[in-house]
Amino acid sequence: MDWPVAGIFIHLNGITALQVICLGFVGGTLSGFIGSGGAFFMTPGMMNLGIQGVVAVGSNITHKFGKAMVGSRKHGKMGNVDRKLAAFLLLTAFAGIRLAVMVTSFLFEGGGDSHNPTGAGANLYISLVFVGVLSIVSLSMLRDLRPGSSDVAGPSRAIVDFFGRLHLPPMIHFKVADVSVSLWILLLVGLATGYLAGTIGVGGFIGVPAMIYIFGIPTAVAAGTELYLAMFLGAFGALNYAAEGFVDIRLTLLLYIGSLVGVYLGAYGVKVVSEKYIRMVTAMIILLCVISRGIAIPVYLRQLGIVTFNPGWDTYLNGASQVLLYVSGLGGTFLILIQVFRAYRQRQKLQRTMAVVRVASEV
């Protein structure tokens, strides 16, 4: 068999397949726990295996569709999905994504010249937005977690209270999330998160903190609702990439083997660990991703001629960026799994006693 098939689909041996499964597991665990799609980890991870970038993105987004469907079903059973809220956000998110695609396409076409690779302008723009927005998100979350805050203190409600005082009717009440939000805030946030998601390709990292800090929604509901949203956005993405012939179904199926176990463990983790811990892990992962992206910015600046340094350094900078990305994904998964198994063992111990009770009473 000649590889790559159709010029883009590579040969997958056993080791490569296993690595794809592991990537799926990490992405799934992060999905179930913090509501992030895990794309920030899986896409570059697959590209590292020699898979074409566009195929990695297309296969991942297709996988996201099915995974988000399963994960949101699980979260739904736990009462974490507010479908009404998701519907409101979805409408404007699509518009935001469309706008973002137009802007980045424009920058992509106009960002290169004979000296610099095409797309450096778009790369720089995307990286700056990524670093700027997610720095604010992660530092705000970390500030909430500083020592001295009460055990039961939730995330900062400064923004929630500010908008609450404005009281811009009409106010829409969301039963599951148990909050009331102004329609205008809702539409604006949906548009902004869609635009940001379309610009930097991340959904959960924007949508989940936005729901927590702007709407005042509990973290578990934010994670569950974001997954539900991701299902529709994933379907839209899968439709587009499949239509362009960029979906490698083998990668999608291999990702499922890991991710559909990880997403259950992540959702279980949300149930057994405190809200504070969930926010801590989310903030940490986001911060490491921000630093990872920040390290790559000088490369784009050099490519655009804004700064000058030895092009040989590109390898080291990109490498460091890659390493940090893996550290964030693997580190976050590790922290989640520790808590998951610790809670699991405690419950098993308790359950064994109760199992004896059940047998005795049956006799």
Partner 1 sequence: MAIVIISSADETTRREIAESLARKLDCPVLSREDVVERATQEGVPVGRLEIAVLKQSVPKERLARHKAQYLAVATTAICEAAKTHPNLVYHGRAGNMVLEGISHVLRVRVVANASRRLAGIERRLKLSSEKALEYMTKLDEDISNWVRFAHGVEMNDPHQYDLMLNLDQISLESASATACAMAQLPDIQPTPASRRIMEDRCLAARARQRLGSDERTARADLSVSVRDGRVTVTYMPAQARWAEAVPDVLAGLEGARELVSTMAVSNLLWIAETFDHDSTAFAEITDLARRWGAAVELARLIPWSPDDEEPPPVDTSDEAAARQYIPKAHDLTGGIEEDVKEAAHRTSDGGLGATSEALIDSGLFGGSRVATGGAEQIAGIIKAQNTYSLVVVGDVFVSKGEASRTRLTRELCATLHDQTRVSVLAAKELRRSFLFDKRQFLRLVASLAGAAAVYALVFTHQRPILEFLGGPAWKAWRPVATVSVLVTVPLVAYLYGTVSGLILSWLRFE
Provide the minimum distance between the beta carbon of 328 and partner 1 in the complex, in angstroms, as a whole number.
25
Selected from 114, 147, 151, 310, the binder of partner 1 by CB under 8 A is 151
- Given the complex with partner 1, which of 68 and 133 has the nearer CB atom? 68
Terminal CA-CA length for the chain: 65
Reading the block at residue 176, the tokens are 């599951």
Measured on CA atoms in the order 111, 115, 118, 121, is the torsion positive or negative? negative
Provide the minimum distance between the beta carbon of 40 and partner 1 in the complex, in angstroms, as a whole number.
21
Provide the minimum distance between the beta carbon of 157 and partner 1 in the complex, in angstroms, as a whole number.
10
Specify the DSSP element, H or E, that contains 181.
strand 179-182
Q: Are 278 and 34 in contact (CB under 8 A)?
A: yes
Stretch that binds partner 1, among 3-11, 36-44, 195-203, 324-332 (CB under 8 A): 3-11
Selected from 168, 188, 239, 323, the binder of partner 1 by CB under 8 A is 239
Q: Are 85 and 174 in contact (CB under 8 A)?
A: yes
Q: If binding is defined by CB under 8 A, does position 50 make contact with partner 1?
A: no
Reading the block at residue 97, the tokens are 């994504």
d(CA 161, CA 45): 40
Name the residue type at position 177.
A
d(CA 293, CA 246): 25
- Given the complex with partner 1, which of 44 and 224 has the nearer CB atom? 224
Q: Are strands 171-174 and 179-182 parallel, antiparallel or unpaired?
A: antiparallel
d(CA 195, CA 202): 10
Q: If binding is defined by CB under 8 A, does position 235 make contact with partner 1?
A: yes
Provide the minimum distance between the beta carbon of 179 and partner 1 in the complex, in angstroms, as a whole number.
11
d(CA 152, CA 288): 26
Stretch that binds partner 1, among 111-119, 182-190, 192-200, 255-263 (CB under 8 A): 255-263
Any idea what DSSP says for residue 149? B
What is the full DSSP assignment across 100-133?
A: HHHHHHHHHHHS--SSS-TTHHHHHHHHHHHHHH
Stretch that binds partner 1, among 183-191, 286-294, 317-325, 353-361 (CB under 8 A): 353-361
Q: If binding is defined by CB under 8 A, does position 79 make contact with partner 1?
A: yes
Selected from 13, 114, 308, 361, the binder of partner 1 by CB under 8 A is 361
Q: If binding is defined by CB under 8 A, does position 134 make contact with partner 1?
A: no
For 67, the 3-state DSSP assignment is helix
Provide the minimum distance between the beta carbon of 165 and partner 1 in the complex, in angstroms, as a whole number.
14
Residues 189-226 as b or e (16 or more Cβ within 10 Å = b): bbbbbbbbbbbbbbbbbbbbbbbbbbbbbbbbbbbbbb
Q: If binding is defined by CB under 8 A, does position 346 make contact with partner 1?
A: yes
- Binding track, positions 87-126, relative to partner 1; x by CB under 8 A: ----------------------------------------
Selected from 18, 69, 101, 171, the binder of partner 1 by CB under 8 A is 69
Phi then psi dihedrals of residue 340, to 5 deg: -60, -50
Selected from 271, 305, 309, 315, the binder of partner 1 by CB under 8 A is 271
**Any idea what the Cα angle at residue 26 is, between residues 22 and 31, rounded to 5°?**
140
Helix, strand, coil percentages in the chain from 3-state DSSP, rounded to 5: 75, 5, 20
- Given the complex with partner 1, which of 54 and 128 has the nearer CB atom? 54
Stretch that binds partner 1, among 118-126, 272-280, 313-321, 322-330 (CB under 8 A): 272-280
Name the site residues for partner 1 (rule: CB under 8 A): 1, 5-6, 8-9, 62-63, 65-67, 69-70, 73-74, 76, 78-81, 151-152, 175-176, 178, 218, 220-221, 235, 238-239, 242-243, 245-250, 252-253, 256-257, 260-261, 264-265, 268, 271-276, 340, 344, 346-348, 350-351, 353-354, 356-358, 360-361
